[in-house]
Structure 1
């Protein structure tokens, strides 16, 4: 590989592109010059979109430790030299104010303190009009809720089924949340619940959603829709078959809506223009791809198809709202979901906001211990400049939509607020380059929007995280993660004792991408890899820990329950001794993202060992 031209390196630096990176072995790697040149050209075009801004597109007015924004003045930065001639501030709740323009024409005064949230400042100057997003975040992230110091249960929504409901549904999530409320378990954690492509293309991965603003219609309660034949489901959910069946049900349901429901649906869509846009997007895609299938009576009526997509989002919002209402009433566990780092390359977000995304590039990760050639996740990256010019509107919309129903939201790969690994088309994943983002602005937007929703945000910060990212998350006091299974083998354990568990974390045994705990214990038993961990754990608990899986599981849960962590969660699979993965990262397997529970939900909830272990976590000492 030839060395990069110094002028190219200088331009990359100016654009916020890292010209090298340090790997997990602390070895430095220079960026591939050809890949670097491609990304520089992309970001040159992105910067050109800025033109000559009248004022900076984003300004942060951060609250103090007592919750008040710092005074009632803020300064606009930008190129304008003329005084502001007209100005209006629209608050997040729609209230409109007329701020005072102070002496220099750049300082803005507002009567009283600004409320938390993201507000829009519109102004006119002799240099032209301008818009600035005024972000008013709390002093730190919201980290406490009724669940603080408590426990949670993780289960993928697609895995749920019961004797009376053979398909996964929001209703089964609600049933489980209500049952957990009686078991001292405050949080029900699941994977992303967003819409996915289940026809052309077919990709049921919850981390490559068709949209991160709209819910997956497969999870609608079956009893709320017309009766339809259902093929028996085996070990794995038949995503394609269930998705096609659900489409037919929804189209048929449109014809049976009464006047009152039509009126409610009209109001819902009017209040959410994105729902109408999403329905149009899916309808146009179906027509372009030859879908629906010839046996679908709606194939010649795009109006019915579009209405069926609107109906799906309306029903999903109502059904998820029932779960959230139970949480608010204190009768159900709160819902925790994941926000994927991106949307499918053919998804709604890129269709609706093409100006926000880079063409000819996807995101991933550089080579590491597990993926020696790097990773390409196939998701389009958002352009840093375009995101700023929009006032980070997409981030705000994503947080707001999730916050309507989620008590906690885990941001996948939170390092993305700082930098993302861009892989240009035609290059290998190992040839990508890091592109930086305005991290402090993004965290301010996340904090402000989450505060408006009352949602606690958790940053997935596992693996190697640069020091500057850790420092930034510390500054904002964002909850991170701790997974004990990472720290159980000799090579990963500290010199003595057990790994520290941070108080500002959500803690568990493992994530959904890791080996099931029962399989991990069995594998380590063969290698003798858990002997030292069991010995150290036994010293902490004051007793010997046996080799059997139930003994190891109970001891680990007891240890986690004693931790200062804000929340301790456990995977239902680990309570049942399941040995098959939810997902094997980096491999396209038919078993990924579809394995159903081995037993119906009601039987699992009656299992005395599961109830005992949930109670152990649920009665942990509160800080």
Structure 2
């Protein structure tokens, strides 16, 4: 076959791809139309469990996808909005009677359904004549997780039914006013009592300071999801081994109650562990997570083995029971990872439900208990941090961040393997800031399997992350609509979009956030379809506006009054240098040094200077700066600019507030740059500790700007 011919997918392959939610073509960042190759479509369909390797198999798969709904008695899952009536089919042997009813959540009772007089011609599938009966979910169902059941003389079937809020509303104390908050990379914000890495005690202090002394209403932090239980630990908080569970690296050992009652010998072990890494908190060099975790883990083992009171032991047991099989699987994976070190696991252990796994669980029971306990004490400290932020006066408190996906060899990939697609990484196609595209090497949700399981893994994830959150930021929220799937071995630009049931995923997100009383923010940047933002707005999910990305059609800065009201608006983001560095064009020089540019560096420098000059002109036109502003005055003027927008939430990077210039992350790099290892520092790179914040003139001045009532006209 001609390679050029093979690169162009056949009409049948395109039809098959679309039937499974795979978009064979898309528009790039510059508006050009691009079509995926045959190899890419075939590989993505294979990850979905569809064999499209030959024209004959494509024809078989096309016939099968048409018959698939008729093979199920009930739809996999029903997700609808409150007050909405929804028809759904029930498939049974033609002519057989069927009884259909709804079991309401929490012993709420049973609602019997009547068949609707809506005839559909029977269909022969797999040699059986199947009839379709139509029923309707009544519009009076309450919010919650219910169950549809169907019974015939041949058997029963059940399906998950989720009734979700039409719209998330802002909390009453946020309505009608503009609120601002801090944004911080928690690992980088340390105190003199930290073990080399910012922790949950530091989080509690920062939340209290932010509310009490600075007037902030929220504190957005990086994802604190679990990393490897052994070193080396993946630095990126956006590549966790589990999105549901917590990284115990952030624990403050001394704040665990049992630490206070250790014997003298055991207390000495804890102190010796701390002494070796506490001094790292004042080290301006890259953060050493591995040294901190090795020391902290040794101390935590000592505290774990100390006696607990009956009340504390009961609380631990209750937590463990509430988190169910998910926690046990996560703790098992951690114990297995420690047991085998860096060696490959025996193939038999790849099945979490296998007999070999059950046997090794028994052998490693003590260490599994330890990892369950780590999650419990982390949960307690997160709860304390949220309480501290609220007691300090914050209206929202801690705003957690949910990463797009998980490590391909992590806990979730092992325990949730059936609802993840394998042989695929997710990322983003090329855009102006990442001209080669991005591959985040994370296995995506398998759309059909997720629905088949009633979205249980997704629901459990949201519930856990929202337990102690006043708000939740969803990284790359566009991924709940479609994700850029990249087959293994392909470049980041050789992917394809796979669509998800966004009505289900967004609806479930709204339901769990409503129950938690949390605000939801979607990071809706990059390449997306225009209607997506309108949809999110209709559901009450805030968007994300970054000053440098908001531009008029001619490239000039977007006027503040044209920003979205329902948004979290900020000057910068963690994927850019702080504002002082960005104004100096350091993002261009860094990408040039790292070989990430696809255009001549002089051209990119010129574009950056034009962007800066246009922004300074916009600030001057509005009277926000004088003729020769200092760096500090420019940064404050940028924040006055976003204060002039109608955005309900404004975010201030703590790095901006103290004068930091170094980027936390440079997308598209791995070892070339110390991503996620840069400690909080001032404009000279000197470490800024939590104890120093209230003496930091730049921080206090910027907080005063954010608390101003009146702005220049």
Instruction: Give the alignment's TM-score, normalised by structure 2.
Output: 0.79
Provide the aligned C-alpha RMSD in A: 2.8
3-state SS of the aligned residue for 2:432?
A: coil
Instruction: Give how far 1:534 is off.
Output: 1.9
Instruction: Give how far 1:438 is off.
Output: 1.0
**What is the alpha-carbon distance in structure 2 between the residues aligned to residue 579 and residue 328 of structure 1?**
30
Indicate the larger mover: 252-261 or 152-161.
Answer: 252-261
> Which digits, 9 at most, give the CA deviation of each residue in 1:263-309, with x for residues without a partner?
32122112211222211111112212269xxxxxxxx9733322221
**What is the alpha-carbon distance in structure 2 between the residues aligned to residue 159 and residue 549 of structure 1?**
23
- Tell me if 1:15 matches 2:20: yes
1:138–1:86 Cα change, 3 Å: closer
**What is the alpha-carbon distance in structure 1 between the residues aligned to residue 25 and residue 482 of structure 2?**
13
1:308-319 equivalent positions in 2, closer than 5 A = 308-319=370-381
- Tell me if 1:413 matches 2:476: yes
Q: Residue 611 of structure 1: which of 700, 703, 712 is its match?
A: 700
Instruction: Give how far 1:489 is off.
Output: 11
- Tell me if 1:258 matches 2:308: yes
Q: What residue is the counterpart of 2:443 in the other structure?
A: 380
Indicate the larger mover: 82-91 or 477-486.
Answer: 82-91
Q: Residue 169 of structure 1: which of 192, 195, 199 is its match?
A: 199
Bigger Rg over Cα: 2
Instruction: Structure 1 unaligned segments of length 5 or more: list them.
Output: 64-68, 292-299
Q: What residue is the counterpart of 1:509 in the other structure?
A: 571
Instruction: Structure 2 unaligned segments of length 5 or more: list them.
Output: 52-63, 117-132, 260-269, 344-361, 586-604, 681-686
Q: Residue 110 of structure 2: which of 84, 98, 106 is its match?
A: 98
Q: What residue is the counterpart of 1:435 in the other structure?
A: 498
- Tell me if 1:185 matches 2:254: no
Indicate the larger mover: 8-17 or 529-538.
Answer: 529-538
Q: What residue is the counterpart of 2:427 in the other structure?
A: 364
Instruction: Give how far 1:414 is off.
Output: 1.0
1:621–1:384 Cα change, 3 Å: farther
1:308–1:620 Cα change, 3 Å: farther
Q: Residue 652 of structure 2: which of 560, 570, 574 is its match?
A: 570
Q: What residue is the counterpart of 2:675 in the other structure?
A: 592
Number of aligned residue pairs: give it.
603
- Tell me if 1:59 matches 2:141: no
Instruction: Give how far 1:528 is off.
Output: 6.3
Q: Residue 322 of structure 1: which of 369, 381, 384 is its match?
A: 384
3-state SS of the aligned residue for 1:162?
A: coil
Instruction: Give how far 1:44 is off.
Output: 4.5
Instruction: Give how far 1:199 is off.
Output: 3.3
> Which digits, 9 at most, give the CA deviation of each residue in 1:169-191, with x for residues without a partner?
11111111111121221001110
1:186–1:58 Cα change, 3 Å: same
**What is the alpha-carbon distance in structure 2 between the residues aligned to residue 242 and residue 412 of structure 1?**
27
**What is the alpha-carbon distance in structure 1 between the residues aligned to residue 241 and residue 190 of structure 2?**
24
> Which digits, 9 at most, give the CA deviation of each residue in 1:426-446, with x for residues without a partner?
222222111111112211111
1:48-447 equivalent positions in 2, closer than 5 A = 52-63=71-82, 69-70=83-84, 74-80=86-92, 82-85=96-99, 87-91=101-105, 94-104=106-116, 106-107=134-135, 113-126=140-153, 128-144=155-171, 146-147=173-174, 149-166=178-195, 167-182=197-212, 183-197=214-228, 199=230, 202-223=233-254, 224=256, 225=259, 226-229=270-273, 230-231=276-277, 232-233=279-280, 234-235=283-284, 236-260=286-310, 261-273=312-324, 274-289=326-341, 302-327=364-389, 331-332=393-394, 334-447=397-510
Indicate the larger mover: 48-57 or 371-380.
Answer: 48-57
**What is the alpha-carbon distance in structure 2 between the residues aligned to residue 117 and residue 330 of structure 1?**
33
Instruction: Give how far 1:358 is off.
Output: 1.4
Indicate the larger mover: 132-141 or 501-510.
Answer: 132-141
Where relative contact order (Cα < 8 A, 6+ residues apart) is larger, the structure is 1
1:331–1:23 Cα change, 3 Å: same
Instruction: Give how far 1:145 is off.
Output: 5.7
Q: What residue is the counterpart of 1:66 in the other structure?
A: none
> Which digits, 9 at most, give the CA deviation of each residue in 1:514-556, with x for residues without a partner?
1221011123899465333222222223663533211111211
Tell me if the contact between 2:21 and 2:498 (Cα under 8 Å) persists in the aligned partners: yes
**What is the alpha-carbon distance in structure 2 between the residues aligned to residue 464 and residue 259 of structure 1?**
54
Instruction: Give how far 1:397 is off.
Output: 1.6
Instruction: Give how far 1:117 is off.
Output: 2.8
3-state SS of the aligned residue for 1:507?
A: strand
**What is the alpha-carbon distance in structure 2 between the residues aligned to residue 579 and residue 519 of structure 1?**
5
Instruction: Give how far 1:249 is off.
Output: 1.9
Tell me if the contact between 2:560 and 2:645 (Cα under 8 Å) persists in the aligned partners: no
3-state SS of the aligned residue for 1:140?
A: coil
Instruction: Give how far 1:605 is off.
Output: 2.5
Q: What residue is the counterpart of 1:535 in the other structure?
A: 617
Instruction: Give how far 1:129 is off.
Output: 2.4
Tell me if the contact between 2:25 and 2:35 (Cα under 8 Å) persists in the aligned partners: yes
Q: What residue is the counterpart of 1:547 in the other structure?
A: 629
Instruction: Give the alignment's TM-score, normalised by structure 1.
Output: 0.90
Tell me if the contact between 1:541 and 1:559 (Cα under 8 Å) persists in the aligned partners: no
Instruction: Give how far 1:476 is off.
Output: 2.0
**What is the alpha-carbon distance in structure 2 between the residues aligned to residue 559 and residue 381 of structure 1?**
38
**What is the alpha-carbon distance in structure 1 between the residues aligned to residue 387 and residue 447 of structure 2?**
37
Indicate the larger mover: 371-380 or 205-214.
Answer: 371-380
**What is the alpha-carbon distance in structure 2 between the residues aligned to residue 159 and residue 147 of structure 1?**
29
Structure with the higher fraction of residues in helix conformation: 2
